[in-house]
Amino acid sequence: MRKIAPLLIMVLISMNFIAQESSSPYRTEFWKDGSWIAGSTALIVLGVITIQNKDGLTDNDLANLDRNDIWKINRGAAGNYSVNADELSYVPFYASFASPILFLLGEDERKNFGQISVMFVETMATTGALFTITAGTVQKSRPLVYNENLSAKERKDSDAQRSFFAGHTAATAAATFFSAKVFHDFNPDSPAVPFVWAGAVAVPAYVGYLRTKAGKHFLTDNLIGFGIGAACGILVPEIHKIGNERLDVYPTAQTNVMGTGIDTKGIAVNYSF
């Protein structure tokens, strides 16, 4: 599968140049987009390694947990835990990834589906890079860690210490906002546009609600995840729009900046004059 995935990405990028039509509001470039996907994928790998090496809580850490140390806006979620909500959250989460398939219903979108697919991969890879790097480096206990009815082993587990930020919410928002943005750009005068954008907001909001109810994330974790995903979903197609070729937005990470020992990660914006 590892050998097939890069090949599939290259095929999609190649298809985009073969099938690109004047009816598309976007322009993509083989090496530029290929480098974007490769760079984002490398950051995802780095982030996953960081997550795998993340430490859990010690017995002393667990004993010193205090709900009063949590921001008031988040305090109500402390102790939340629901297996049903966790499992249910995966339904809209996975369904959102299939939303670009609906573009096959439109003639212009269908002609440029290879191009749309490349941008979708870029969107999800960028979101994934930002999420994995952040989740691996930021130590923040999930709401379920404050639930004393759970076993100490489950509460101390390293997976329970990556509440920030909400990956499911971010990925869902990236997928739905990407689909809404592309639909809007291809069909600016469609009466369905407001409803498409409303759906783009509602689906990740519902996922965020379920993730909080499940004890996986606090409200602010979901809000930030929502914002990051939505930004990626909108910005990736926007920078590919014909006329915006001078604008670049891409994930970036640096370690030990200028020898300070500080690690940074985020989204870089570059505009060529």
Each domain of the chain, given as residue ranges in start order, spans 4-244
- Say what the pLDDT of residue 251 is: 58
- Say what the pLDDT of residue 18 is: 46
Residues in the chain predicted with pLDDT less than 50, given as ranges, are 1-5, 7-11, 13-21, 271-273
165 preceded by a cis bond (ω within 30 of 0):
yes
Measured in whole angstroms, how far is the alpha carbon of residue 242 from the centre of its chain? 25
DSSP type of residue 264: E
- Say what the pLDDT of residue 22 is: 56
C-alpha to C-alpha distance for 256 and 227, rounded to whole angstroms? 27
Instruction: State pTM to two decimals.
Output: 0.84
- Say what the pLDDT of residue 243 is: 73
